[in-house]
Structure 1
Amino acid sequence: MQSNDARLLLHAVVPTLAIGAVAVAVSGAVAGVPGALGAVIGTVLVLLVMGAGLVVLQKTAKNHPQLFQMMGLLLYTVQILFVAVFLIAFKDTTFFDTKAFAFTLLGATLVWIAAQTRGHMKAKILYVEPDSAGTKKAETAGSPT
């Protein structure tokens, strides 16, 4: 992973962990241990799904830049489907508080997206390789005189 890729990942993970800690504290105070556990599971799910998606998207951009947009759309669809399957599978659970889980999942996802967007906007990523522009010289047409 390149340094700017790791930096983008870090810029998204730290605020998501912070909001997750706040959600665990609030959910624990409101709904007790099941609420805190639901908030922890929601935060971990967001970190795993969104983090894996960002890593896959960065590897796709590096290896197959022509597939970047299609892969991004496919990736977001798969992420939504994965979370939907998780929600359906655990909708009637008593192991954790589902409301705390759902609100934490929503909040952490929104914070991840906002932090990732901010990280991309502040990143100084070159669009053109500086070495490739200097090595090729333009040839002039016509005969030399």
Structure 2
Amino acid sequence: MQSNDARMLLYTAGPAAAAGVIAVAASAAFAGGKGAIGAVFGTVLVVAFMGIGLGVLQWVAKSLPQLFQGIGLVLYVGQLLLMVIFVAVFQNATFFNPRAFAITLVAVTVVWIGAQARAHMKAKIFYVDPAAEARKPETAGSTT
């Protein structure tokens, strides 16, 4: 993982985790222990899915840059569909509060996406690699 990739992960996962901590505290206050468990589960799920997605996007950006935008769109739609599926599957769960889970899932996802957009806009990523010109091999033959 390059330094700008690690920085992007830090700048997105940090605010999402902070939002998760706030959601856990609010869920514990309003829905008790089961609400806190649901909020923790929702936070972990979002950070895991979005973190894996960010890793996949970074790999695609390096390996297949021409497919980056399309893969990014498919990835985000897939992640959101998976989260909707998780909300539907756990809507009648008894070991945690499903409402706290769903609200936390949405809130932390929105914070992650906002933080990722901000981190990407603040990142100083070269469109042209100036060091590539220095590494260019000499061509064989005459230059005249």
1:132 corresponds to? 132
- How many Å apart are 1:131 and its aligned residue? 2.1
1:33 corresponds to? 33
2:53 corresponds to? 53
Count of matched residue pairs: 137
Structure 1 gaps of 5+ residues are 137-143
Provide, for residues 107-141 of structure 1, a one-character-per-residue CA deviation record: whole Å limited to 9, x for no partner: 101111111111111111111110234566xxxxx
Q: CA 1:22/1:5 → structure 2, altered by over 3 Å: closer, same or farther? A: same
1:87 corresponds to? 87
1:1-145 matched pairs, under 5 angstroms? 1-134=1-134
Describe the SS at the equivalent of 2:124: coil
- Aligned-pair identity in percent equals 55
Describe the SS at the equivalent of 1:47: helix
Moved over 3 A (4+): 133-136
Return the alpha-carbon distance in structure 2 between the equivalents of residues 86 and 125 of structure 1.
Answer: 35
Q: TM-score, normalised by structure 1?
A: 0.89
Return the alpha-carbon distance in structure 2 between the equivalents of residues 8 and 27 of structure 1.
Answer: 28
Describe the SS at the equivalent of 1:126: coil
Q: TM-score, normalised by structure 2?
A: 0.90
Structure 2 gaps of 5+ residues are 137-143
Larger radius of gyration: 1
Q: CA 1:85/1:25 → structure 2, altered by over 3 Å: closer, same or farther? A: same
